[in-house]
Each structure stands twice: as structure tokens, then as C-alpha cells.
Amino acid sequence: MADVLTDIWDKVLRHFYKYNSSCWRNWFEQIEPVALDNGVLRVSVPERTWQQYLRKTCNDGLKQAAQSITGHLISLEYIYSDNQDIDKEKDFEYEETVDESLMFFNPDYTFGNFVVGPCNRLAHAACTAVSEAPGQAYNPLFIHGSVGLGKTHLMQSACQELLKKNPGATAMYMSCETFVNDFIQAVEDGKLYDFRYKYRHVDVLVIDDIQFLSERERSQEEFFHTFNSLYQSRKQIIISSDSPPSEIPHLENRLISRFNQGLVTRIDKPCYETRLAILRKKAFMRGINPPDEAVEFIARKIENNTRELEGALTKVHGMAMLEDGQITLELVRQALGEEPTPAHRQISISQIIDVVTEHFNIKLSDLQGKRRSRSIAFPRQICMYLARDLTRHSLEEIGGYFGGRDHTTILHGYRNIDKLCDNDESTRQLVEVLMANLTQKQN
């Protein structure tokens, strides 16, 4: 029975790799099939973050693969177990819950998967030190830099490493927007005591994109007191932003002073050699082995940030899977094109709006209106993201297409989708599909 189950699981993985290559990770080979009973395929994983990644990102693809292979309706259960000697004949008593502190952590974001170069060496060393001596080495640790350069990767790496070394520790990782929304909700519900207890009784507090505290006076005051409470208790605080503390507009001086009292470090754009190393690391994580000439072409072509490098690799790998599975220099040239930028510049905001409204089955008036429900706000922010990424229009000009919204709203929408693309595979795939539809309309 064990051999049959192993054979089924191997076929499921091959099917999944063929049709969901962007989600594949080389650690999938360490997943152990445990049982197939009553239409439920149970598999065991040794890492909690792997369990969450499979549930959140891969479940639909794996379920489809299992049903295709077996010919039956199949659901999957991902069981966390640190027991290396799994007895497949026994009842299943492995823990199914996921630690709340880990539920937003990406298993890709570890120190082992981070490429260190001149652009990020200090930030990497600081995060490593923090993970080894929280609240002592650098507190607070403030990391700033443009989008897609690795701030989130480093912060999550520090948290995951710290939790491995201190299993009893509590770490809270979130965006600044989440902090602000939680505070507003607590005020409205009269639950400020619960809010303060939640945020002031953790061992590590990690806030991404702190610049969104700008112009939020009450939220700034609440964060100031939260910061002081944690700092005085020698709890670790890690913060990221797109700019250094002194350049965040409308940020209170007392907060700027608090942020500057620790270590403030910047991450810059990766150099050519670092981009090469990043591409090779990303390729290894996905279990692919592109030739050196293909990797070098991508590294020369994509200069801005790590996320664009990964996106290019995803596109190349996807095209290769449609052919014979081989990545060649010619395929890379075809995928990226010698001059991709002019083609992007031909795309208009009107075309973007047409593609998005058709995909989400909404009206232009919805995008331009004031409704903030997720069914409208999410497509609206997708439009803002694509418009900034694929056209030459300024933020103010883009805002004009969406009911006269100001540039800060457009920038917020862009960053929100950019962050989702980084942490949510379904959003990343959606953006890639919409981009592909827009490119086809240009041909």
C-alpha cells in the first residue's frame, strides 16, 4: 500500500509541476504522503510555513492534480509533524493548526534563500544579528529602500530564524495599514485595552511600510506609546519604509527620533553580479537549471529590482513548459524581447480599464466612483498598479482616470498590489494574466 501511495503522490507532483510551475519549490520532494482514505489525501510536512504555503497557494493545483491522477474527487490535508519517523499505519494525531505568528510568513523568505551583495550587506548583517539577540543588537532596526529590493524578505527571515531558535517567543509581522486599521476598529468597538495588550505583549513587532503612518495623527500617537512600551521592555522592533525616517512626510519628530536611535540601513538596487546570483538562487528554488547565457541575458535586461527578476524568470519558465521544457537563450529573447519598454509604453490606460472591467465584470463608473467594497477597490487598485507599471503617465494623470483621485491614493493602490504580488501567488498570477492579455491586444 505504501508503494502505491508513493507512486500516486509522485504522479501528482509531476502533474502539478507541469501545470503550476510558478508555484513549485524544490522542497516539495520532502513532502511525505501519509494516507489516502475516504477521498482525503494526507501528506506530512516538517515546516509550519510549508504547511501554510501549500494550503494558501497550492491547494487548488494539487487537488486538481490528485483528481486527474486518481480519477476520483480528492481533497488534501497538510499535516505538520516534526517527527521524522512517521508510522504510516497509525492514526493521525499530528497538529493541524498553524501558529498565528507564522501565518503570514513566506517559506521562500529565509536567510538561506537571500542573496547578499554590496547593495544589502549591512541590512542582512543587522537582521542576522537581531535574530540571534533580539532586543539587544539593534533596536529598533529600520530598513528602507525602493520596492522589490528585499526588505520584506529580510524581515521575515529574521522572524522565522528567531522563532526557530526561540520556539516560545511571539512575533507579530504586519503592514502598517493593518496596524492602523486594527487601531481604528478598536476605537470604534471600544476595545482599546485588547488592542494595546495584543501589540504590547509580543517579543518581536515587525511593521512593513511605516510611511503609511503619514498624516494619521492618532495612529502615530498610539504607535509611539506602543513603541515605547516594547522598547522599555527590551522587545525587538523592526520597521521598513521606502525612505529614511527624516524623509517620511508629516511624521512626528518624536517618532523620527525614536526610529533614528537604533540602526537605520538602506537597501539599494542590486548590481549585475548580485542579479546573476539572485536569478540562480530563484531558479534553484524552483528546481530549474537555465543555461548561463540565459541567466546573463535576464540579468542584463532587468536592472530595477528582485521582484522583476523573479517575474522574468517565471515568464521564461512558463513559456518553456509550453514547449519542450528547455530554457534556451532564444526562448529568453522571445519571452522578454530586445526592446520590451516601447511595447509597454504603447498600452493605454483605457485598454487597461477595458481588460480589468471585463475580467472582474464591473463597470467603468464603479472604478471611478467612491465605493470602497473589496469587489470594487481591488480591481481599482489592480488598474492603478498596471497603469503605473505599463504606461508613462504620472500619478496625477492616472488619478484623473479614476474619479480625480490624488497621487497618494494611486501610490497607495500600487504599493498594496505590489505587496500582494510579493506575498500572494494568486494575485501575482492574476496580474501576469492581465498583462498577457494586454500584450496580446498590442499584437
SS3 for 34? strand
Given a contact cutoff of 8 angstroms between Cβ atoms, the answer to whether 246 and 279 are in contact is no
Using alpha carbons, list the distances in angstroms from residue 390 to 343, 346, 386. 9, 8, 6
Domain segments of the chain: what residues?
2-98, 111-266, 272-338, 342-442
Given a contact cutoff of 8 angstroms between Cβ atoms, the answer to whether 144 and 244 are in contact is yes
- Domain at 2-98, CATH from 3.40.630.30, 3.90.1150.10, 3.40.50.300, 3.30.300.180: 3.30.300.180
Instruction: Kindly write down the DSSP assignment for every residue of 291-354, as one continuous string.
Output: -HHHHHHHHHH--S-HHHHHHHHHHHHHHHHHTTS---HHHHHHHH-S-HHHHHHT--HHHHHH
SS3 for 124? helix
DSSP 8-state secondary structure symbol assigned to residue 392: -
Domain 272-338 has CATH 3.10.20.590: no
CATH of domain 111-266: 3.40.50.300
**And the C-alpha cell for 420?**
500582494
pLDDT given for residue 163 in this prediction = 87
pTM: 0.65
pLDDT in tens, the chain (443 residues): 567 788 888 888 888 887 777 778 878 888 888 888 888 888 888 887 888 888 888 888 888 888 888 888 888 888 877 654 444 444 444 444 444 443 468 888 889 889 998 889 999 999 999 999 888 879 999 999 888 898 999 999 999 899 888 888 888 898 888 899 999 999 999 999 999 999 999 999 999 989 888 878 899 999 999 999 999 999 999 999 989 999 888 888 999 999 999 999 999 888 888 888 999 888 888 878 888 888 888 888 888 788 888 888 888 887 777 766 678 888 888 888 754 444 444 688 888 998 999 888 888 888 888 888 888 899 999 999 998 888 877 787 888 888 888 888 888 888 889 888 888 888 888 888 888 888 776 65
For residue 257, with 0-12 CB atoms within 10 Å meaning exposed, 13-18 middle and 19 or more buried, which class applies?
exposed
Q: Which superfamily does CATH assign the domain made up of 342-442 to?
A: DnaA protein, C-terminal DNA-binding domain (1.10.1750.10)
pLDDT given for residue 323 in this prediction = 67
For residue 131, with 0-12 CB atoms within 10 Å meaning exposed, 13-18 middle and 19 or more buried, which class applies?
buried
